A and B are shown apart, each in its own frame.
Chain A
Amino acid sequence: MTSQDGNISSPVLELDHYTDESNAWQFYGYTLTTHRVYNATDGSIEFPYQAVAAATAIAFFRTTVYSTKEPMAIRLTFAVLLAALAYARKSYELILAVEVFSYSFVVLSALQPRKVLSTWLDRLLYGTVGLGAAAAMSYAFAHCLVTGLVMETLQLLTPSIVLRGLYYLIPIKECTEAYEMIQSLALPYEVLPSQIAHLFFVTFHIQTGMGFLGINFLKKEQQRRNMLVRMDVAGAEDGDEPSDTDSDASNGKSAKPSPGAALETSAQSKHASSKLARSRRFQRSALPFIFRSALPYMLQIIGYGNLNAFSFHCFCHDLHRTVRYHQTLSHDAHWMAMTQTPVSPERKQH
């Protein structure tokens, strides 16, 4: 407490903000701690599986969000390349540039004017120039986006009334306040931007990818519902009794005999058998729907959703620990401020 020159300096406690992996709790042999892990090789401190999560997220996105004209081989190649870049902890600028380029490559291939480019030399020239331009533009776009230039330009170009409307509709101000608060509490505060960038990277790619998956699944589900509804509607259009009458009959109400009842009975039995066949077809399609659509969708939602949630929990738990003990114990003054308990309320009178 006392320095050499006689002045008492305020003590600041030194705290480790990471944990040793060997001390972490394991789940079936996998460490599932949300503490930052110290990497002895490069001296970095990051969350466990951070690189794996980033690689998985971007590979999932690239294989899910694609153009129908894009060949599977190209899609997989780009997915593997992007995953490798993310796993190797390359900068987000580079990863984003490659990602944008992978989509512009598809657009460029689709727009290729085959009639004009008759010879292989023309096509080679078009490909070289086009790909070069696409690569340069992709990198420029990624650079502007990562450095915030895109946002600044958009803010400048957007009319102020539209900006005010956006601020009114979207809680931007509240989010800014929350970010500033988190920034003022984060320890060490230099880590926070990279943590948020990683979380946004994983969340954006997984959630948007799952959104695309959801569209296809919802369409398939709606088709099945429509099949179910049409079973009754098609029957009525073919001359079947409406479903209300069917339900009345099933409830025990007797139908009055009418002229030509025998003819009607024959037609009814024909339509009933047709209805039964449609019903069986519908029932038979249940298992393929479950195994080909529902289960894969469910597994992807659970798996990728959990990966996204794990990334968020790493971030959230880190903040929790910061407030609970890093900040509280990082300085004697913080500690003293929190140790005024328990105190009787009557004491406060003093």
Chain B
Amino acid sequence: MTPLFPSHVSRHRSLSFFTTTEYATSIDNIANTIYELFNRKLFSLPKILLLPGVMARQPWLIVQVFPFIMVTDWVKASGVAFLTTKIEHLQEELQHWRAIRTKVESFDLKNAELLHRSGSQSLPFTQRRWEALTNQVQNRLVVMELLQRSKGFFAFIHRNFVFSVLIDCALANLIVVGKIVSAEIFVFSRAMEDAVDLLLMRSRSEAELARMATDLERLAQVRDLWRNQESSSALLACTVSPPSCVNPEHAKHTPHIVLRNLHYSRGTAQVRADHVELPAGVYALTGTMNIWCLPWPSFAREHSSKYSFLSFQGPTDLVNQHFSAF
């Protein structure tokens, strides 16, 4: 049985599955992550500055309580990091499958007429394909939501019933030695939380940093794609041959364009031509099509276009040039 999706679809996270919205969202996420990391820290800075004056006179407090706080937080961070990695992986897969589904659906809807004319099995096939894609999305979605829920509870319990208890131990010491009064309990509790938060900035921001890394990777891909496209899409140079250089045999046909090893497809129609000569002029290509100029098979390049123009002003030879002008 023919598989619904070619193996390379699931293996290769093709860049072209993402849309401009997803790239724009990626840069939003990056800016948000960095900003929130430091925005909160700036807010807690005045409270953290209260601590050195108190702690300098109670150095044993740091030795007695802070190691426990750090160890419990490390345990929590490890657990959360494990879950976050799983969630992040699932989220990435989910985005990938959602993007494929969107594109497949829009492609099928766009070519509804072709599907309709392709025989009685075309609609059931489309249905199976859509169903399989939805299954891929929903299976990952349910696992991801369960993991997110578990992570949320784990973090909540740790923060409210483990971390706070240890902070209270430190506050009890400070109250006993008269470093703080009862009205400052809340402030110093928050100050200690913020200080620990600053020290464990990386481990606590594991999820955000993992997401940001994914977004950075995605943006790096699109940036590289743009750069590659810029370098490879230098339009074909059209040189106007002086009349003296024109072969007298072709003089009656000049100006003309020579295309070699051309492969052109549109819908089900496919045309191959080793040598094509066209009179020079303005050509318009409309609709979705693929054109390959094949200097040799390994360098085959695919180009799609909805609407493109080429203008040639003289005898032109495009031998062994790829057709990136389209």
Query: Chain A interface (Cβ within 8 Å of chain B)?
Result: 1-2, 6-10, 65, 168-171, 174-175, 177-179, 181-182, 184-185, 199, 203-204, 207-208, 210-212, 214-215, 218-219, 221-223, 225-226, 308, 312, 315-316, 319-320, 322-325, 327-328, 331-334, 336-346, 348-350
- Residue B88 is within 8 A (CB to CB) of chain A in the complex: no
23 A-B residue pairings within 8 Å (CB atoms): A2-B311, A6-B238, A6-B239, A9-B235, A169-B201, A170-B202, A177-B216, A179-B34, A181-B220, A207-B45, A208-B42, A211-B47, A214-B46, A312-B31, A312-B39, A319-B27, A328-B20, A331-B230, A339-B304, A341-B16, A341-B103, A346-B6, A348-B8
- Residue from the list A185, A319, A323, A349 in contact with B6, Cβ < 8 A: A349
Known pairs A182-B27, A214-B47 / 11 extra A-B pairs, C-beta < 8 Å? A8-B237, A171-B202, A185-B219, A208-B46, A211-B47, A214-B43, A215-B47, A215-B187, A341-B103, A344-B103, A348-B14
In B246-304, the 8 Å CB interface with A consists of 290, 302, 304
Whether A222 lies near B20 (C-beta < 8 A) is no
**Which residues does chain A contribute within 8 Å of B62, judged by CB atoms?**
none
B131 within 8 Å of A by Cβ? no
Nearest neighbor of B111 in chain A, beta-carbon distance: A344
Q: Is the CB of B43 within 8 A of A341?
A: no
B302: A residues at CB distance < 8 A: 350
**B residues near A344, Cβ cutoff 8 Å:** 103-104, 107
Report B195-240 residues with CB < 8 Å from chain A CB: 199-202, 205, 209, 212-213, 216, 219-220, 222-223, 225-226, 229-230, 232-240
Residues on A with beta carbons closer than 8 Å to the beta carbon of B201: 169-171
How many Å lie between the Cα of A181 and that of B313 in the bound state?
Answer: 42
Note all chain A residues with C-beta closer than 8 A to B95: none
Cross-interface CB contact of B30 among A171, A178, A346, cutoff 8 Å = A178
Supposing A342-B110, A345-B5 touch, asked if A181 and B216 sit within 8 A by C-beta, the answer is yes
Query: Is B8 a contact of A349 with CB atoms below 8 Å?
Result: yes
Contact A210 B47 (CB under 8 A): no
Q: Tally A-B pairs: CB < 8 A.
A: 187
Cross-chain contact A342 with B106 (CB below 8 angstroms): yes
Instruction: Determine whether the beta carbon of A185 is less than 8 Å from that of B27.
Output: yes
Chain A: CB-nearest residue to B237: A7
By CB atoms of chain A within 10 A, which of B23, B201, B236 has the most?
B23
Q: A184 to chain B: which residues have CB within 8 Å?
A: 223
Query: Whole-angstrom distance from the CB of B36 to the nearest CB of chain A?
Result: 9
Residues from 28 to 55 in B contacting A, C-beta threshold 8 Å = 28, 30-35, 37-39, 42-47, 50
Bound form: Cα–Cα A221–B182 in Å:
11
Residues of A within 8 A of B94 (CB): none
Residues of B within 8 A of A308 (CB): 39
Please tell me if the beta carbons of B237 and A175 are within 8 angstroms of each other in the complex. no
Q: What's the least CB distance linking A343 to chain B, in Å?
A: 7
A333 touches B28 (CB 8 A): no
Q: Assess whether B311 is in contact with A222, with CB atoms less than 8 Å apart.
A: no
Q: Is the CB of A343 within 8 A of B103?
A: yes
Q: If the complex has contacts A2-B313, A334-B226, A348-B6, are A222 and B187 also in contact, measured as CB distance less than 8 A?
A: yes
A277 CB to nearest B CB, Å: 22
Q: Do the beta carbons of A324 and B20 come within 8 Å of each other?
A: yes
Question: With A and B bound together, what is the CA distance between A9 and B233 in angstroms?
Answer: 10
| Chain A residue at smallest Cβ distance from B8 | A348
Nearest CB in chain B: distance from A226 CB, A: 5
Name the A residues within 8 Å of B236 (CB-CB): 8
Which A-chain residue is minimally distant from B100 (CB atoms)?
A345
A140 to B276, alpha carbons, bound, how many Å? 73
B166 within 8 A of A: no
Min CB distance B140 to A, Å, is: 18
In angstroms, how far is the closest chain A Cβ from the Cβ of B252? 23
**Does B229 lie within 8 Å of A334, measured CB to CB?**
yes
Q: Knowing A10-B233, A316-B32, A333-B229 are in contact, say whether A218-B187 is a contact too (CB < 8 A).
A: yes
Residues of B contacting A334 in the complex (Cβ-Cβ under 8 angstroms):
226, 229-230
Closest to A180 in B: B216
Q: How distant is B58 from chain A, measured CB to nearest CB, in Å? A: 20
Q: Quick check: B47 and A222 within 8 Å, CB to CB?
A: no
Q: Is A222 in contact with B226, judged by CB distance below 8 angstroms?
A: no
Q: How distant is the Cα of A338 from the Cα of B229 in the complex, in angstroms?
A: 10
Give chain A residues whose Cβ lies under 8 Å from the Cβ of B232.
Answer: 333
* Chain A residues near B21 (CB-CB < 8 A): 324
A345, B104: Cβ atoms closer than 8 Å: yes
* Contact between A312 and B35, CB atoms less than 8 A apart: yes
**CB neighbours of B202 from chain A (8 A):** 168-171
**Contacts of A327 on B, CB cut-off 8 Å?**
226
Q: Does B19 contact A (CB under 8 A)?
A: yes
Residue B184 at the chain A interface, CB threshold 8 Å: yes
> Whole-angstrom distance between the alpha carbons of A350 and B294 in the complex?
13
- Give complex CA distance A316, B28 in Å: 6
Q: Which residue of A lies closest to B42 (CB)?
A: A207
Q: Tell whether, in the assembled complex, residue A221 and residue B186 are in contact, meaning their CB atoms are under 8 Å apart.
A: yes
Question: Is there an interface contact between A336 and B229, defined as CB atoms closer than 8 Å?
Answer: yes
Interface flag for B83 (CB, 8 Å) = no
> Distance (Å) between the CB of A302 and the closest chain B CB?
14
Q: How far is the CA of A342 from the CA of B186 in the complex (A)?
A: 57
Contacts A6-B240, A312-B35 given; does A182 touch B200 at CB 8 Å: no
Asked if B27 contacts A171 (CB within 8 A), the reply is no
Asked if B63 is at the interface of the complex by the 8 Å CB criterion, the answer is: no
Nearest 5 A/B pairs, CB to CB: A207-B42, A211-B46, A8-B235, A333-B229, A222-B186
- Whether A171 lies near B183 (C-beta < 8 A) is no
Q: How far is the CA of A6 from the CA of B255 in the complex (A)?
A: 14
Interface centre among B5, B31, B201, B239 (most CB of A within 10 A): B31
